[in-house]
């Protein structure tokens, strides 16, 4: 990767560079292809116009100060929140901060306990809502609408599934890679179980796949003390669970 070699040569001549992070496909073993560019974050001790952010066919370089990196955006902050998976499982190429840069990368790339709780409290009910709507549409013969809601439910549901383990939902491109190389702890969320379920939900809003996925999320929610969010669905629960499919 000539662009990366040139970057590291430039970095070596400038002590103002505090840290370098290789992310994207190049930073995740097995994902790099002939079509991939190089994605890097460069953290500076002090802002310097000689280090602009760059977007080119060969390298995407995002530049920030170390102080900016210390302000980790929470789940309620749209600006920056969606960038956080870029720090997950990425490769630190340089750390001139006695470990602070590496620790900040880890902080960006995982959820704290309070962040995990916040994600679950705000996303779990949304997941149930879309799954419920999809199942209702199947019952009523509205297959197109069922597929739309099923697809929406996965966006919320995957965020929830990873938050249970204080992890950030991967970008879709990396989902299969993530589940295979960094498995989730619960058996229903192993790659060989979860990925076929997701495929079935996306393909035709399969009721069985949706209800099996829902059951695994409900079980996890009860275990961490969020059963109240589930129980709030009251008389709709037997239908969602599949215990009363003619509701």
Nearest to 188 by CA among 171, 166, 211: 211
In the chain, alpha helices (H): 2-12, 66-69, 78-81, 100-109, 113-139, 143-163, 175-181, 191-204, 207-223, 227-231, 237-241
User: In terms of domains, do 128 and 90 share one?
Assistant: no
Judge whether residue 212 has pLDDT over 80. Answer: yes
User: In terms of domains, do 125 and 226 share one?
Assistant: yes
Tell which wins on pLDDT, 176 or 38: 176
User: In terms of domains, do 198 and 234 share one?
Assistant: yes
Sheet holding 54-55: strands in order across?
54-55, 59-65, 38-44, 17-23, 91-95
Nearest to 219 by CA among 178, 186, 183: 186
Task: Look at the pTM and tell me if it is higher than 0.85.
Answer: yes
Query: Looking at residue 33, what is its pLDDT?
Result: 59
Query: Looking at residue 245, what is its pLDDT?
Result: 53
Structure tokens at 246: 């003619």
User: In terms of domains, do 129 and 44 share one?
Assistant: no
Picking from 6-10, 147-151, 216-220, which range would have the lowest pLDDT averaged per residue? 6-10
User: In terms of domains, do 145 and 222 share one?
Assistant: yes
| Single residue among 109, 129, 160 that ends a domain in this structure | 109
Judge whether residue 149 has pLDDT over 80. Answer: yes
Query: Looking at residue 59, what is its pLDDT?
Result: 87
User: In terms of domains, do 68 and 124 share one?
Assistant: no
Judge whether residue 2 has pLDDT over 90. Answer: no
What are the phi and psi torsion angles at 38 (to 5°)? -110, 125
- pLDDT tens-place string over residues 13-43: 999 999 999 988 766 776 665 656 788 999 9
Average pLDDT of the chain to the nearest whole number: 92
């Amino acid at each position: 990767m000539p662009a990366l070699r040139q970057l590291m040569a430039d970095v070596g001549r400038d002590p103002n560079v505090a840290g370098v992070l290789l992310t994207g496909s190049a930073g995740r073993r097995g994902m790099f292809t002939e079509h991939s560019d190089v994605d890097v974050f460069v953290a500076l001790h002090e802002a310097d116009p000689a280090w602009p952010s760059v977007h080119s066919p060969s390298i995407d370089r995002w530049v920030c100060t170390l102080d900016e990196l210390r302000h980790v955006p929470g789940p309620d902050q749209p600006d920056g929140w969606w960038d956080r998976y870029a720090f997950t499982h990425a490769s630190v190429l340089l750390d001139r901060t006695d470990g602070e840069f590496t620790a900040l990368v880890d902080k960006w790339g995982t959820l704290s306990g309070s962040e995990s709780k916040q994600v679950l409290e705000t996303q779990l009910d949304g997941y149930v809502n879309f799954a419920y709507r999809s199942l209702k549409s199947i019952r009523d013969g509205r297959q197109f609408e069922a597929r739309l809601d099923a697809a929406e439910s996965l966006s919320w549901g995957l965020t929830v599934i990873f938050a249970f383990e204080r992890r950030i939902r991967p970008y879709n491109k990396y989902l299969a890679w993530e589940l295979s190389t960094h498995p989730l702890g619960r058996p229903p969320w192993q790659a060989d179980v979860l990925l076929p379920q997701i495929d079935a939900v996306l393909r035709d809003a399969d009721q069985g796949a949706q209800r099996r996925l829902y059951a695994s999320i409900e079980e996890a929610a009860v275990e961490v003390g969020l059963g109240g969010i589930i129980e709030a669905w009251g008389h709709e629960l037997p239908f969602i669970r599949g215990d009363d499919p003619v509701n």
